[in-house]
Amino acid sequence: MTSLSISEVTLTFGGLNALTAVDMEIEPGLITSVIGPNGAGKTSLLNCISGFYHPTRGNITYGDRSLTNASPHSVSILGIARAFQNLELFSGMTVLDNLLLARHKNLSYSFFQALFFSGKTSRVEAQNRAYVEDVIDFMELEPYRKHTVGSLAYGIQKRVEVARALTLGPEVLLLDEPMAGMNIEEKEDMVRFVLDIQKERGTTVVLVEHDLGVVMDISDQIYVLDFGEVIGAGKPEEVARNPKVIEAYIGEE
């Protein structure tokens, strides 16, 4: 398994440091959570990993590949998938089409074969459709397969977002607040999915989340960010005792 490491990453917007010398080691096969107050730089960090931002200084490496200046599509081809915080779904398309789009790089037929919808095209499409159905089954999206994504409830859309990232067949899954704005049942469902993704598929999960209860329960490793700096790291119980973390969350006495 390849590990994702972030070393000395600094991201600057004008005079503002969104991230300052962030060091992280994301262990393969585990659930690593990134927590912190609003504006701490959690999403910026995910954007750096997935290639939407490029760090001003520092390096991000995945195995022996550098992701520092990689573009989002090349990052996703390396096997790092991202689910967005503010739903970035193709809202006019069906759930099925959304997921099939994630198979883009696996659909290996040429333009001319597609023009005539040759036997190979049909076969490859059907194979990938089977893969998509697996994910639909896994994420329990069967009733919504043919629904337009824009017409679904928020909680379901969030699930589609995670499903789409999963359809990329990633080794590392970056989840940006998958439980934000959900009710308790939907949260419980999502937690179950995240745990299943890690256990059954062996996917490394990087979770950015505000719900501390969830994070403390399911994470193997936690990093705490505040004002763009890592102020605490370690196992959930260690982090919970860290005075700096307590200070960032509930203030000084």
**What's the closest the beta carbon of residue 184 comes to other proteins, in angstroms?**
28
CA–centroid distance for 141 within its chain: 19
The window from 56-64, 84-92, 180-188, 236-244 that contacts other proteins (CB under 8 A) reads: 84-92
Map residue 15 onto helix, strand or coil. coil
Whichever of 67 and 222 has its CB closer to other proteins, that residue is: 67
Of residues 48-67, those binding other proteins (CB under 8 A): 50, 52
Binding flag, residue 158, other proteins (CB under 8 A): no
132, 149, 160, 168, 188 from 48: Cα distances, Å: 28, 27, 23, 19, 29
What type of residue sits at position 200?
A: E
User: With binding defined as CB under 8 A, does residue 93 bind other proteins?
Assistant: yes
- Classify the C-alpha dihedral 219-60-44-225 as positive or negative: positive
User: Could you give the CA distance from residue 199 to residue 197 in angstroms, rounded to a whole number?
Assistant: 6
CB-CB neighbours of 75 under 10 Å:
22
- Shortest distance (Å) from residue 93 CB to other proteins: 6
182-201 residues near other proteins, rule: CB under 8 A: none
The reply on whether position 148 binds other proteins by CB under 8 A is: no
Q: Applying CB under 8 A, which residues contact other proteins?
A: 50, 52, 71-73, 76-77, 81-82, 84, 88-93, 97, 100-105, 107, 109, 111, 114-117, 121-123, 125-126, 129-130, 133, 164, 168
